């Protein structure tokens, strides 16, 4: 019978040798980095890396070991690249973004927001900018984006993520098609109300209107009334507006208490969302490449190769640079079946050395990367 203690001692000696060889390899990686610093050569050389992995795989004796060796050396090469990026971090800078002390706005500032007056987005706008700016109501997310990009508006406010239903996919799909940048964010506590014309009783209601998110956030409440038809509408505030205009007691809307007051409706039931702490995160966009001093959240859009481990390699840049990932959302790429882009938020500022190091590595290894903002 094999002596377990003896086998463990052998493994300990082998592991010690592996560590010594690893450190020797990293010293050589340092020499390579110094050469690349002087020559301007890229850290990532995919052709050389694949050739090397193929040759190492051929040295292994079994099918299992061949796969394992390739995986092992892929990890070692990944660590080596991170090390080289760290050495070269001072040779790279974040171009195109300007750091400002504060966002500029006054009583003449035009801010587009999604939905009719009374929307949660209008509330987010006023809580972020105050009530002295010129608020401009817009019926679609796309209109907000277009007006900001064209300069018709100075800023825009859009919902991007809800604490109970997740990311608002439409806005992720839209934001990548415009040159606007995220310059701020604001979180609003969402308390959904069921509202209708004054004097309306619950048993009179046959149809409920709301934005898709409003219906999702209240799905448990709505499940108690299967006989009532649910209709997705442009926004929660537009739903309230419709009920007010139609003057039909068989119709009701889900939205804010503010919307009920705005359109003269009566609240039948309050706080009908299933999550007590239901909140929505709103983003503030601008067509300027700026970020406020002290900003600590960075939004990225990343496209990777459609192959095993490609996303892991990209995300490892955050790990090796001690950057905390706050959110990741995948969205299909139009016209490319089963291909996805990833929206990632990380903690950090564009001036942080670790952020610069991670972004340099991601830019070299991803098929496409775009900084959506630092806020």
Using DSSP's 3-state secondary structure scheme, residue 134 falls into strand
Which residues, listed in sequence order, are joined to residue 184 by a DSSP beta bridge? 284
Nearest to 162 by CA among 342, 282, 16, 63: 282
DSSP string, 223-282: TT-TTSEEEE-S-HHHHHHHHHHHT-TTEEEEE-HHHHHHTT-EEEES--SS-TT-EEEE
Dmax over CA atoms of the chain, in Å, equals 88
Which residues, listed in sequence order, are joined to residue 279 by a DSSP beta bridge? 189
Pairing of strands 290-292, 155-162: unpaired
Report how far residue 344's alpha carbon sits from residue 325's, in angstroms, rounded to the nearest whole number. Answer: 7
Nearest to 288 by CA among 93, 99, 92: 99
Give the active site residue among 165, 200, 236, 280. 280
97 annotated active-site? no
Q: How far is CA 297 from CA 141, 183, 281, in A?
A: 22, 10, 13
Report how far residue 264's alpha carbon sits from residue 192's, in angstroms, rounded to the nearest whole number. Answer: 16
Give 213's DSSP letter. H
With 0-12 / 13-18 / 19 or more C-beta atoms within 10 angstroms meaning exposed / middle / buried, residue 225 is middle
Give the active site residue among 114, 128, 282, 342. 282
170 annotated active-site? no
- The residues assigned a catalytic role are 280, 282
């Amino acid at each position: 019978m094999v002596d377990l203690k003896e086998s463990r001692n052998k493994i300990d000696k082998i592991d010690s040798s592996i560590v010594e060889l690893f450190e020797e390899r990293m010293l050589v990686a340092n020499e390579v980095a110094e050469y690349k610093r002087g020559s301007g050569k890229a850290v990532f050389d995919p052709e050389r890396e694949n050739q090397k992995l193929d040759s190492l795989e051929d040295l292994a004796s079994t099918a299992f070991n061949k796969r394992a060796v390739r995986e092992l050396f892929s990890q070692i090469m990944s660590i080596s690249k991170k090390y080289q990026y760290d050495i070269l971090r001072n040779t790279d800078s974040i171009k195109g973004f300007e750091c400002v002390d504060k966002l500029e706005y006054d009583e003449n500032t035009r801010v587009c927001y999604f939905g009719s007056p009374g929307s949660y987005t209008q509330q987010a706008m006023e809580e972020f900018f105050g009530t002295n700016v010129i608020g401009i109501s817009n019926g679609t997310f796309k209109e907000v984006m277009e007006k900001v990009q064209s300069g018709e508006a100075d800023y825009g406010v859009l919902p991007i993520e809800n604490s109970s239903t997740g990311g608002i996919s439409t806005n992720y799909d839209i934001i990548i098609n415009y040159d606007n940048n995220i310059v701020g964010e604001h979180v609003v506590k969402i308390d959904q109300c069921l509202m209708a014309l004054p004097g309306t009783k619950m048993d009179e209601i046959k149809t409920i209107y709301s934005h898709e998110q409003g219906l999702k956030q209240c799905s448990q409440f709505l499940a108690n009334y299967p006989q009532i038809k649910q209709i997705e509408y442009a926004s929660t505030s537009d739903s309230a507006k419709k009920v007010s205009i139609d003057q039909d007691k068989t119709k009701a809307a889900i939205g804010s208490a503010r919307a009920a007051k705005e359109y003269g409706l009566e609240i039948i039931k309050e706080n009908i969302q299933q999550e007590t702490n239901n909140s929505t995160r709103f983003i503030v966009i601008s067509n300027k490449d700026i970020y406020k001093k002290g900003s600590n959240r960075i939004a990225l859009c990343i496209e990777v190769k459609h192959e095993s481990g490609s996303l892991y390699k990209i995300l490892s840049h955050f790990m090796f640079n001690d950057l905390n990932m706050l959110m990741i959302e995948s969205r299909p790429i139009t016209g490319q079946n089963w291909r996805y882009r990833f929206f990632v938020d990380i903690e950090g500022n564009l001036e942080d050395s670790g952020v610069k190091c991670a972004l340099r590595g991601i830019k070299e290894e991803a098929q496409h990367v775009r900084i959506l903002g630092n806020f």
